[in-house]
Amino acid sequence: MIEGPLFDMTGNISGKIISNTDSGCNIDIPSPCAVVIFGASGDLTKRKIIPSLYRLFAINLLPDPFFVIGTARTLLSDNDFRASMKEAVKEAFPQDFSESAWQIFSEMLYYQRIEYNTQNTYAELKNKLLALEKKHGTGGNRIYYLATPPTVYEPVIENLGIAGLSKEDGGYRHVVVEKPIGSDLESAVHLNNTLAASFTERQIYRMDHYLAKETVQNILMFRFANSIFEPIWNSRYIDHVQITASEALGVEHRAGYYEKAGVIRDMFQNHIFQLLALTAMEPPALFDADRVRDEKVKVFRSIRPFQLESLNTQVVTGQYGKGMINGKEVIAYRDEPGVSTESITPTYAALKVHLDNWRWKGVPFYLRSGKRLSSRKAEIAIHFKPVPHLMFSHAIEDGIEPNVLILRVQPDEGIGIHFEAKNPGSRVCLNTVLMNFSYQNVFMLDGYERVLLDCMQGDQMLFVRSDGVQQTWALLTPLIDKLTEDARPNDFPNYESGSSGPAAAEDLLKRDGRVWRPL
């Protein structure tokens, strides 16, 4: 039984827990199904997919019956695959691993070697699938999870279609595609066309695990289920919005991918723009996947195109040099294994964006993301306008700080609002105080657990639609091309690891009389 929180009077979580049935917030167990993982010998399967499926099983949310077929080029037996996945799960849950639970779960794991470009291996996969579906009684419901490098997406999708594995004949066929969905507008359109040739849009789940975070999902609830906020959620009351996704980590083992991607492709086209859309969208007529995604696409269409001839007023990019993180010296990006010593790949970007619609006219959205920054943080900060008339001016010299509403995505998931309150004991003395709601100590599914569960349930709310992908690439492709064309090796590095980013990013706001929130 999944459990939900009781809240104390301060808005923080109390220790007592009640069941989800009592609170009226049930999590439905999906219908029986199979998951076929392409790229099952890879890092994503070991770090995220199998541990997430194991945890869903351990908390009684996995369907019954259920099984997994892992596929990859590597030659493995079923027992080899199970042994490898056992080590991965033990590493993911060192304190919560259960030998008895694993014994039951591992009996659902199978392996089939495949050559991604060879059609006859898909026929072998189909035969194994049919045999296991008969053995387990899963009714033909299947999820194909592409945990492969993006270069392999298209041959897998095409061969699934040719082999008839995408055809729904008695059960659903869902395909999960990880980001990146293309590397520019042209490649995104090509991939979407390839998907559409074998699957319908209803079958396609383009995954962005940021959307599955509890606090990201809560943005819509917070905005549209509370009547005190929506009336002031507009340019009349809001001065500007800051969206931040910072990381203390460097590129780690992803240099090969990151050298081709950079921060704008890696973070802005998907995660950052999705947070922007949820913050800025109009209320849908119905809380339904397509209605919500319709409104998000309208936001993307309203974003003012970047002025490519005057980018310095809208965009700042950076690349980290050496520095200190948590008291330890770390190397520069160009010294990372697999990175060119003259790389012009940005690891930091700050963008100033305007939405050309009635609600947001004149309200700038400042977006930033980077690696090797001073802290790991993801948040949306709504900065309200100052009070129109300061009646305390005779007693307060420094003025009053405008209210700020903080939607914290990670790591301290929750919501906080800064407001002014009288200092006790004084006649007229104000202090800025924080009213805080925190999700800490509450049971939550993580991003991968949530998207796997939603895919099994056929809920596309947290997945990105083809028109949304293409609209964001249409905005960012000219910007990326221009930045690449203008960049020179001596432009980087321009910020120390452990700092808050390039100095020019501070100027982006200072010119408007504003400052970034501290990292």
* Helix intervals (H) in 234-272: 255-263
From the list 323, 150, 148, 351, the residue with the least C-alpha distance to 250 is: 323
Phi-psi bin for 179: left (phi > 0), alpha (psi -120 to 50), beta?
beta
Give the angle 326-330-331 at the CA atoms, nearest 5°.
165
Can you say whether the dihedral through the CA atoms of 484, 486, 489, 495 is positive or negative? negative
The contacts of residue 142 (CB under 8 Å, 6+ apart) are 33, 34, 35, 36, 129, 165, 171, 172, 173, 174
The contacts of residue 129 (CB under 8 Å, 6+ apart) are 34, 36, 69, 142, 165
Residue 47 · residue 88 · CB < 8 Å = yes
Active-site position among 271, 383, 389, 418: 271
CA distances from 63 to 28, 68, 108, 158 (A): 10, 12, 12, 28
46 Cα distance to chain centroid: 19
- Known catalytic residue: 174? no
**Active site amino acids:** 271
